[in-house]
Amino acid sequence: MATTMRIAAQRASSRALAQMVQSRGMATEKQIFNQIQSTKNISKITASMKMVSAAKLKGDENRLATAKPFNLWAQSITGEPKVVEDADFSELPQKTLVVPLTSDKGLCGGINTFITRSVKEIVKKTSEEGKTVDIVVVGDKGRGQMRRQFGEKILVSATEVQAPGSYALTSTLASEIMSVAGDYDAICIVYNSFVNAAVYKQVYKVVTPFVTEGEGESLISYEFEPSTKSEILNDLGEYLLSSEIYEAWMDGAAAEQSSRMTAMENASKNAGEMIESLTLQYNRARQARITTELIEIISGASALEG
Amino acid sequence: ARRKDDDKQPPKMSTPTTFWRLAGMSYMQYVNRAASCVTKALKEPAKSKALARSDFSYNASVWEAGTQGTKTNVTTFSAAGK
């Protein structure tokens, strides 16, 4: 009886000593186990988010496929969207209104950072040539990033946009932009363009208002009926901006979903790798504990004999 | 930020001849109304599905010298640009 108690006391004191040693530096077995559990939960969440994004991407791709032919006529007027990378923005006029399209929700990879960087490029290159730029930012993430760098350039921000977009939304956004675009020479829309499920790129398009008379008169080879040309060009200008923003919006939405899908897939993969390495650590800690207990028992028993 | 700069008007046109301008609507307002009229010609349940597709909402706020102003929720066309 006394010997059992002595052994138990010795075991308890050695365990306490061992725990003291462990808590000083290395994570204990319990802590590693908790880490593994929480990482497993996270990987479940990211895996489900990836599947949700993949499903939403299908819908967004379909919407983009219908938006593209809808906007072809506008491209013959403003030209195809140009890639931001290595662009010198020399075609931007003296006063430009930049409209970056960003997302409201996070966990979407780098899309918003790339857009903010593109706007920074535009501001830098235009200020080198003595031109001015103001911003109408769409999307909460873009607003947050740009308020720090270009806060005084922002005129209007549109956030918490209800997804998915529609033509009604983009024509309202267009009228929102036009209410401040009175004294600007051009509107530059900057957005992410969907290439495929793994790739997207930053592009921009410049929409200049129509010139109704004088030099550089727009659409000069066409005859206009029944209203006056200036009236029709006003209406057409509204429609042009609406249409361009509609296509840019659908493109950006598809790019956002593809980016989110990739980000969540990477997160799941990293979580899986973490779980593997943590499990190895856990097993090592567990084996160390068992070895320590064995040593206690054996040394206790040999102390009895000796 | 400038919203309705009354001192700097856009180039004045002669009296508008198109009926939507005479009614005070912009072209986009007119086009969206016409589209919703066509959508309303659908039968249920396609009608409510199609009308729901063009619902939208966002929060707009005007910025003054680097600070964000109050947010206004925009759900209709006429509320934009205020």
Q: Is A205 exposed, middle or buried (0-12, 13-18, 19+ CB in 10 A)?
A: buried
Rounded to two decimals, what is the model's pTM? 0.84
Q: Do A156 and B60 touch (CB under 8 A)?
A: yes
Helix and strand numbers, DSSP H then E, in chain A: 7, 6
Which strands form A199-207's sheet, in the order they lie side by side?
A: A82-83, A199-207, A186-196, A95-100, A132-138, A154-159, B58-64, B67-74
Q: Do A228 and B77 touch (CB under 8 A)?
A: no
pLDDT in tens, A179-221: 998 889 999 999 999 999 999 999 999 999 888 777 777 787 8
Q: Is B12 exposed, middle or buried (0-12, 13-18, 19+ CB in 10 A)?
A: exposed
Residue B8's pLDDT band (cuts 50, 70, 90) = very low
- Cβ atoms of A190 and A122 closer than 8 Å: yes
- Cβ atoms of A118 and A137 closer than 8 Å: no
How many Cβ atoms sit within 10 Å of the Cβ of residue A183? 12
Residue A12's pLDDT band (cuts 50, 70, 90) = low
pLDDT in tens, B39-58: 999 998 999 999 988 889 99
Question: How far lies A157's CA from each of A63, A106, A241, A257, in Å?
Answer: 25, 18, 18, 22
Tell whether B15 is within 8 A of chain A (Cβ). Answer: no
Q: Do A159 and B2 touch (CB under 8 A)?
A: no
- Rounded to whole angstroms, how far apart are CA atoms A54 and B41? 34
More confident residue, B9 or A212: A212
- Cβ atoms of A138 and A102 closer than 8 Å: yes
Q: What local confidence, expressed as pLDDT, does residue B1 receive? A: 45
Tell whether B74 is within 8 A of chain A (Cβ). Answer: yes
| Closest residue to B58, CB basis, from A162, A175, A227 | A162
DSSP B10: P
User: Would you tell me which residues 36-55 of chain B have a C-beta closer than 8 angstroms to some C-beta of chain A?
Assistant: 53-55
Instruction: Tell me which chain B residues have a C-beta less than 8 angstroms from the C-beta of A242.
Output: 28
Does position A9 have pLDDT exceeding 80, yes or no?
Answer: no
Q: What proportion of chain A, given as a percentage, has pLDDT over 70?
A: 92
How many Cβ atoms sit within 10 Å of the Cβ of residue A19? 13
Instruction: Tell me which chain B residues have a C-beta less than 8 angstroms from the C-beta of A152.
Output: 65-66
> Taking Cα atoms as reference points, which of A147, A97, A141, A171 lies closest to residue A259?
A141
Q: What local confidence, expressed as pLDDT, does residue A1 receive? A: 61
Tell whether B71 is within 8 A of chain A (Cβ). Answer: yes
Tell whether B67 is within 8 A of chain A (Cβ). Answer: yes
How many Cβ atoms sit within 10 Å of the Cβ of residue A303? 12
Instruction: Tell me which chain B residues have a C-beta less than 8 angstroms from the C-beta of A171.
Output: 28, 31-32, 77
Q: What local confidence, expressed as pLDDT, does residue B66 receive? A: 84
Residue A14's pLDDT band (cuts 50, 70, 90) = low
> Could you tell me if the ipTM is greater than 0.95?
no
Nearest Cα of chain A lies from the Cα of B45 at a distance, in angstroms, of 19
Q: Find the closest chain B residue to A149 by CA distance.
A: B66
Nearest Cα of chain B lies from the Cα of A52 at a distance, in angstroms, of 20
When scoring A146, A147, A175, A233 by the number of chain B Cβ atoms within 10 A, the one with the most, hence best to mutate, is A175
When scoring B13, B15, B58 by the number of chain A Cβ atoms within 10 A, the one with the most, hence best to mutate, is B58
Question: How far lies A81's CA from each of A206, A267, B2, in Å?
Answer: 8, 32, 28
